[in-house]
């Protein structure tokens, strides 16, 4: 495979891939390997990192184990990032495909609809949605999906617009294939590579969004997350800066690794387009 | 201005109004879905719970009317800038938001100008030193700022510049308890503005730097640039007069589209730095579970974005007549 070869030759992308793999392993197996409830008070509060042998990263304002919080936070970040991106793709791909394939008034209506979602300040919309439907994993994931599908729809529409007049599509039409078949079997597989690149970058921004929401106190009250840890340590920034530094660094490294991998994928899949990534 | 331009502007106006109408209707249904019966929430704030009082409140606010009628009332009130009152302070939502508006405009405006300036500069330098040391430094810095959570960056900046170095204030918009006037006051606000505006701007600086760099490199490969070089023009002049001018268009277009993002970022920076703008107001509304206020801020911030897009569209159309007038 050319793509995999070109990706493995890209050192920067491989660094991203390595960090990301570690993050996924921690998210999936961490809670089983490291025994610790992130909510339980285990020691006196404010133990700095690397001073207590049992709790390596120390304890927070209420004496909870920071390392346990970090491990459980990885899980929720990954879960919300992946699921919300999947939902956004499920909304954006069909909308964009129909708009681009049929054109005309279908395109007009669907794109006006998309435009409204693109105009609205997305983070403010996410806040409003999570607040109204009460903070939970479901409302957070749903809200992030709702604010992140428009770029997918636009991208897919553009791909379909340019591919629908290709010869193989015309041939399929002459063959008497149904529109549904042409969309699903002929055009979609050919527009997958930019969608994959966009999706990898969307997971990164979904993780950032989730952490921002839980920082504002809109996290699921039952689940420990990185954003919540930073929000809870906000008032003690002067006394215990590491309590906000550690989870923030975890977010930055994770998001960075996803961006690096996404760029590597972009270069491997669309050599001509590399660099065109904003929206 | 030609008739075509006027038609174009009128079209944009209608489109903006339609978008706001849809958001208003959406807002109306969201308020209905908010947890708790609005009458009960208001009664609870007033410290009463008996059924007769609840009924009175429902009648007073039209909650006993059919839904379509309530929607009509809601939208026509919005048109008169009446967004109801806040549950807690019993103040008109619109007035409260307008009180906070100047602070947010100052913050987002400063952040926008800063990020556009710094971002374009960094992008031009990186493109000029393509594949050299400076290019790598700028690219890596942009990648890092692009991945860093805004609120965390804000907190770390406050920690370093305010707590550790004690150079800059990191709380509020003015020094509390000092009634400064004139230049002193402006200087005081300026000092308070530095940290919030810079942290809010850095993320967008990263975005614009990457975009400018790509755009500059792509434009510099075009034929007219080769011609300019071939006829012996100075390289610096080619960069500024030929490449930059043409490379800037996609960057400015993107910048215009990012107004909404800037407001989202303002919620986080204003929360960290206690900057008294509408972002902070949104956080307070969340905290107090004041859904009327929350949705009011949401509507006004959407209206700001619509207005901003409208203004940039019109400016484009006047500045660059080549832009399609048909759409």
Mean pLDDT of chain B: 83
Contacts A259 to B, Cβ<8 Å: 143, 146-147
Could you give the CA distance from residue A266 to residue A196 in angstroms, rounded to a whole number? Answer: 9
Hey, is the C-beta of A260 within 8 angstroms of any chain B C-beta?
yes
Hey, is the C-beta of B207 within 8 angstroms of any chain A C-beta?
yes
Q: Which residue on chain B is closest to A207 by alpha carbon?
A: B149
Q: Minimal CA–CA distance to B267: which of B308, B310, B298?
A: B298
User: Can you list the residues of chain B whose pLDDT is less than 70?
Assistant: 1, 36-49, 61, 319-327
Contact criterion met (CB < 8 Å) for B152 and A204: no
Please tell me the distance in Å from B247's CA to the nearest CA on chain A.
13
Hey, is the C-beta of B209 within 8 angstroms of any chain A C-beta?
no
Contacts B257 to A, Cβ<8 Å: 118, 279
pLDDT tens digits, A70-119: 888 899 999 999 999 999 999 999 999 999 988 889 999 999 899 888 88
Best mutation target among B25, B139, B155, B280 (most A Cβ atoms within 10 Å) is: B155
Whole-number pLDDT of residue A149: 95
Contact criterion met (CB < 8 Å) for B301 and A124: yes
Please tell me the distance in Å from A131's CA to the nearest CA on chain B.
7
Best mutation target among B26, B150, B151, B203 (most A Cβ atoms within 10 Å) is: B151
Contacts B298 to A, Cβ<8 Å: 121, 124-125, 127-128
Whole-number pLDDT of residue B106: 93
Phi, psi of A64, deg, nearest 5: -90, 150
The 3-state DSSP class for residue A1 equals: coil
Contacts B302 to A, Cβ<8 Å: 119-121, 124
Long-range Cβ contacts of B218-227 (<8 Å, 24+ apart): B218/A275, B218/B247, B219/B243, B219/B246, B219/B247, B220/B127, B222/B246
Whole-number pLDDT of residue B320: 67
Please tell me the distance in Å from B278's CA to the nearest CA on chain A.
11
Contact criterion met (CB < 8 Å) for A119 and B22: no
Whole-number pLDDT of residue B47: 63
Whole-number pLDDT of residue A175: 86
Q: Tally the C-alpha atoms within 13 A of residue A48's C-alpha that lie toward its C-beta.
A: 5
- Segment A263-274 shows an average pLDDT of 73
Could you give the CA distance from residue B220 to residue B239 in angstroms, rounded to a whole number? Answer: 8
Please tell me the distance in Å from A201's CA to the nearest CA on chain B.
11
Could you give the CA distance from residue B112 to residue B106 in angstroms, rounded to a whole number? Answer: 10
In which band, very low, low, confident or very high, does the pLDDT at A248 lie, cut at 50, 70 and 90? Answer: very high
Please tell me the distance in Å from A148's CA to the nearest CA on chain B.
12
Could you give the CA distance from residue A56 to residue B71 in angstroms, rounded to a whole number? Answer: 57
Contact criterion met (CB < 8 Å) for B152 and A244: yes
- Any idea what DSSP says for residue A235? G
Contact criterion met (CB < 8 Å) for B155 and A237: yes
Instruction: Confirm if B184 and B97 have CB atoms less than 8 A apart.
Output: no
Which neighbouring-strand residues pair with B244?
A: none
Q: Which residue on chain B is closest to A201 by alpha carbon?
A: B147
Please tell me the distance in Å from B126's CA to the nearest CA on chain A.
14
Could you give the CA distance from residue B96 to residue B82 in angstroms, rounded to a whole number? Answer: 12
pLDDT of A276 > 60? The answer is: no
Whole-number pLDDT of residue A218: 92
Instruction: Confirm if B86 and B290 have CB atoms less than 8 A apart.
Output: yes
Hey, is the C-beta of A12 within 8 angstroms of any chain B C-beta?
no
Contact criterion met (CB < 8 Å) for B218 and A124: no
Contact criterion met (CB < 8 Å) for A120 and B302: yes
Contacts B271 to A, Cβ<8 Å: 216
Helix, strand, coil tally for chain B in percent (to 5): 75, 0, 20
Q: Which residue on chain A is closest to B327 by alpha carbon?
A: A108
Whole-number pLDDT of residue B324: 53
Whole-number pLDDT of residue A277: 39
Q: Which two tokens stand for residue A221?
A: 């009250």
Could you give the CA distance from residue B197 to residue A82 in angstroms, rounded to a whole number? Answer: 32
Contacts B291 to A, Cβ<8 Å: 131-132
- Give the whole-number percent of chain A exceeding pLDDT 70: 96
Closest CB to A230 among B152, B254, B260: B152
Please count the other Cβ atoms lying within 10 Å of the Cβ belonging to residue B136.
12
The 3-state DSSP class for residue B92 equals: strand
Instruction: Confirm if A58 and A176 have CB atoms less than 8 A apart.
Output: no
Contact criterion met (CB < 8 Å) for A204 and B147: yes
Contact criterion met (CB < 8 Å) for B294 and A227: no
pLDDT tens digits, A206-235: 999 999 999 999 988 888 899 999 988 888
pTM for the model stands at: 0.88
Whole-number pLDDT of residue B214: 85
The reply to whether ipTM tops 0.95 is: no
Contact criterion met (CB < 8 Å) for A216 and B271: yes
Number of Cβ pairs < 8 A linking chain A and chain B: 139
Closest CB to A123 among B159, B267, B272: B267
Hey, is the C-beta of B135 within 8 angstroms of any chain A C-beta?
no
Whole-number pLDDT of residue B321: 62
């Amino acid at each position: 495979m050319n793509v995999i070869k070109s990706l493995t030759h890209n050192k920067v992308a491989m660094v991203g891939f390595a960090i990301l793999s570690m993050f996924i392993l921690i998210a999936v197996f961490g809670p089983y390997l490291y025994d610790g409830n992130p909510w339980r008070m285990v020691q006196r509060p404010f133990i700095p990192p690397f001073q207590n042998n049992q709790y390596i990263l120390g304890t927070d304002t209420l004496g909870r184990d920071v390392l346990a919080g970090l491990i459980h936070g990885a899980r929720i970040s990954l879960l919300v990032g992946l699921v919300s991106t999947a939902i956004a793709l499920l909304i954006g791909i069909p909308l964009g495909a129909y708009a681009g394939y049929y054109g005309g008034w279908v395109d007009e209506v669907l794109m006006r609809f998309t435009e409204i979602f693109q105009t609205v300040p997305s983070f403010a919309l996410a806040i409003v949605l999570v607040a109204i439907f009460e903070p939970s994993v479901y409302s957070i994931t749903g809200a992030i999906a709702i604010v992140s599908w428009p770029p997918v729809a636009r991208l897919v529409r553009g791909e379909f617009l340019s591919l629908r007049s290709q010869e193989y599509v015309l041939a399929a039409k002459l063959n008497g294939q149904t529109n549904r078949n042409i969309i699903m079997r002929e055009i979609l597989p050919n527009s997958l590579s930019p969608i994959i690149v966009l999706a990898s970058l969307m997971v990164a921004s979904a993780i950032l969004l989730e952490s921002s929401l839980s920082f504002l106190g809109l996290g699921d009250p039952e689940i420990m997350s990185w954003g919540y840890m930073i929000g809870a340590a906000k008032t003690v920034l002067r006394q215990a800066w590491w309590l906000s530094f550690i989870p923030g660094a975890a977010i930055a490294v994770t998001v960075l690794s996803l961006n690096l991998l996404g760029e590597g994928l972009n270069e491997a899949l669309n050599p001509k387009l590399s660099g065109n990534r904003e929206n | 201005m030609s008739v075509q331009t006027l038609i174009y502007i009128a079209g944009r106006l209608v489109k903006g109004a339609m978008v706001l109408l849809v958001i208003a209707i959406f807002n109306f249904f969201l308020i209905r879905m908010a947890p708790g019966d609005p009458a009960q929430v208001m009664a609870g704030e007033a410290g009463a719970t008996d059924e007769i009082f609840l009924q009175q409140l429902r009648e007073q606010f039209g909650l006993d009317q059919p839904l379509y009628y309530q929607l009509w009332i809601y939208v026509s009130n919005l048109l008169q800038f009446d967004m109801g009152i806040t549950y807690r302070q019993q103040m008109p939502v619109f007035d409260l938001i307008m009180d906070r508006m100047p602070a947010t405009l100052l913050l987002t405006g400063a952040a926008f100008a800063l990020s556009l300036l710094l971002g374009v500069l960094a992008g031009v330098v990186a493109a000029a030193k393509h594949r050299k040391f400076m290019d790598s430094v700028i690219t890596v810095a942009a990648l890092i700022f692009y991945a860093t959570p805004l609120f965390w960056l804000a907190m770390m900046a406050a920690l370093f510049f305010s707590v550790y170095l004690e150079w800059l204030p990191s709380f509020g918009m003015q020094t509390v308890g000092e009634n400064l006037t004139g230049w002193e006051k402006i200087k005081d606000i300026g000092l308070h503005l530095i940290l919030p505006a810079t942290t809010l701007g850095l993320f967008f600086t990263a975005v614009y730097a990457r975009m400018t760099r790509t755009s500059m490199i792509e434009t510099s490969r075009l034929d007219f640039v080769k011609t300019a070089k071939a006829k012996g023009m100075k390289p610096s002049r080619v960069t500024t007069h030929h490449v930059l001018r043409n490379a800037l268009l996609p960057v400015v277009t993107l910048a215009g589209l990012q107004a909404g993002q800037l407001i989202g970022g303002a919620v986080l920076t204003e929360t960290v730095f206690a900057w008294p703008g509408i972002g902070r107001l949104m956080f307070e509304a969340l905290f107090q579970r004041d859904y009327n206020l929350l949705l009011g801020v949401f509507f006004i911030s959407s209206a700001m974005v619509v207005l901003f897009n409208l203004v940039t569209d019109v400016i484009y159309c006047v500045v660059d007549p080549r832009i399609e007038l048909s759409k």
